Amino acid sequence: MSKTAIYVRVSTLDQETGLASQKRAIQRWLTGHSIKNAQWFDDRISGTKDKRPGLEKLHRAIFNGECKTVVVWSLSRLTRKGAYEGLTMLAKWLEKGVRVVAIAEQFDFYGPQGELIAALLFALAKMQRDELSNSTKRGLAAAKARGVKLGRRPGKWTAEVRSLRDSGLPVSEIARRFGRTPQAVYNVLKGVTPTYVPANQKAR
């Protein structure tokens, strides 16, 4: 069983590019340290959510003694809630003798000094998320006050969905082709337009 676990996370299903960049950076680290057969865990959900399937599987793997090293792109991938939640998670892992490595911070979080630095980084991640969330709310409120209609901007992929479906292509294949979920494809077919928030204003 692998002793090295990798955890990667992006906030939404539409951020596959970010997920891929995290994986590339971590793979370079693994290659540089001659680590093979690492076990990968991933989530496509906000770091503020308590229930994350990938993270829950990682917790079980640690509890079962299946991994002794956890590698992440950044500590912010573990949680965006703040120092308390982040340190609680980190402390539980460290108590089990798990080594935690964060690529972006270029730090190996182990021992009291590692916990102190981690506390600062978790706190900064929460401040960043809160500010981004507040900026999003202010921007949406200002747009609404100007009479701007909020909604998803039409994308090229949505224009092709119906024709592909009419040609007999399965929904699952259409979703795979455009990097979307089957539900997103069904929504387009039904004419549902989810609320649009600019990508640079989404809370992580």
Q: Do domains 4-126 and 156-201 have the same CATH topology?
A: no
63 pLDDT higher than 80: yes
Which residues neighbour 6 within 8 Å (Cβ) at sequence distance 6 or greater? 23, 26, 30, 38, 39, 40, 41, 70, 71, 72
pTM above 0.75?
Answer: no
SS3 label, residue 74:
coil
Higher-confidence residue of 85 and 116: namely 85
The Cα 202–Cα 204 span in angstroms is 6
The Cα 51–Cα 56 span in angstroms is 7
User: Phi and psi at residue 94, in whole multiples of 5°?
Assistant: -65, -35
Give residue limits of the domains in the chain: 4-126, 156-201
- CB environment 145-179: b (16+ within 10 A), e (fewer): eeeeeeeeeeeebbeebeebbeeeeebeebbeebe
Contact 91, 122 (CB under 8 A): no
pLDDT confidence bin for 31, thresholds 50/70/90: very high
| Residue 149, CA distances (Å) to 91, 144, 194, 199, 203 in order | 46, 7, 12, 17, 21
pLDDT confidence bin for 133, thresholds 50/70/90: low
151 pLDDT higher than 60: no
Contact 104, 72 (CB under 8 A): no
The Cα 137–Cα 201 span in angstroms is 9
The Cα 158–Cα 83 span in angstroms is 41
Domain 156-201 has CATH 1.10.10: yes
Q: Which of 11, 34, 76, 172 is catalytic?
A: 11
Query: What's the pLDDT score for residue 168?
Result: 78
CATH fold for domain 4-126: Rossmann fold (3.40.50)
> Is 11 labeled as catalytic in the residue annotation?
yes
